[in-house]
Amino acid sequence: MSTDAVPAHTLVVKNLHVEVGGKEILKGVNLTLRSGELTALMGPNGSGKSTLAYALMGHPKYKVTAGEALLDGQDLLKLTVDQRSRAGLFLGFQYPQEVSGLSLSKFLWTAYMQRHTAETADASQFGKDLSTHLGYLGMDEALLKRSLNEGFSGGEKKRVEVLQMATLAPMFSILDEPDSGLDIDAVRSVGETVAKLHFANAGTLVITHYQRILKYLRPDAVHVMVDGVIVLSGGRELADQLEAKGYDWVRVGVQAGN
């Protein structure tokens, strides 16, 4: 896809500090996301990756104590969760919730209408796009009639998160461990779909422990978080190093001040 005349967007995180229950989890995170780029954030358990995602989305449990987050220059931290969503930020949850009595189709249509007016909404196109995205994800259309995530398998729940992303077409998407708990086929399906939905006017941050989903995504940049800060950055080859060597060598480098 040509990037001519495609507006450039940025999400810039500067020196972000975040507490949870009075304990500092993020200790000065610096990260820049750009439209057209797919970025991977890796790191061991407890390093603060999910904390970054929830803090940016505005979860009240995560208290920002210092730093800033700017979406195209706008102070994201001053916005409510709803305003952040309308501004173009999307979070795909690691553990999607079940909502009894709300069908998946109704949920997706409601989300779609939050980004449109009666004049700009196109029900016909919405239906066509939904069918296309279901096909990408290998999902049965019968799931649309069921309550949101109720009785869904882990793989189906993760696919629904990607389906929401496709429906909303956000400016920036943060996917919190979209590969966790998935078998090999589901990882490939989710990874390939995210790659297909990655366009020049949007940016995507994928949070993961492993490189397995990254071979389908081919990220432009890989960052490693340890103990609340990003300590290492590189290209796709960095993910391969982590897969082969684990995270201990990164920790050793941090402790040595390298």
Cβ partners under 8 Å of residue 30, min gap 6: 13, 14, 15, 16, 230
Tokens of 133: 């995205």
Asked if residue 207 belongs to a domain, the reply is: yes
Asked if residue 242 belongs to a domain, the reply is: yes
Asked if residue 42 belongs to a domain, the reply is: yes
The beta-strand segments (E) located in 115-169 are 147-148
Cβ partners under 8 Å of residue 164, min gap 6: 90, 92, 108, 111
- CA 17 to CA 67: how far, in whole Å? 6
pLDDT band for 107, please (50, 70, 90 cuts): very high
Asked if residue 221 belongs to a domain, the reply is: yes
Asked if residue 129 belongs to a domain, the reply is: yes
Q: pTM for the full model? A: 0.88
- pLDDT tens digit sequence for 56-87: 999 999 999 999 999 999 999 999 999 999 89
- pLDDT tens digit sequence for 119-137: 888 899 999 999 999 988 8
Asked if residue 33 belongs to a domain, the reply is: yes
Q: First vs last Cα of the chain: how many Å apart?
A: 39
Asked if residue 4 belongs to a domain, the reply is: no
Asked if residue 5 belongs to a domain, the reply is: no
Give the per-residue pLDDT at 256. 64
- pLDDT tens digit sequence for 192-251: 888 888 877 899 999 998 888 998 998 999 999 999 999 999 998 998 888 888 888 887
**Residue 237 is part of a domain; what is its CATH number?**
3.40.50.300
Task: Concatenate the DSSP letters of all residues of 176-207 into one string.
Answer: E-TTTT--HHHHHHHHHHHHHT--TT-EEEEE
- Has residue 4 got a pLDDT over 80? no
Tokens of 100: 């009894």
Count: domains in the chain: 1
What's the domain range around 51?
10-255
Give residue 6's identity as a one-letter amino acid code.
V
Give the per-residue pLDDT at 2. 43
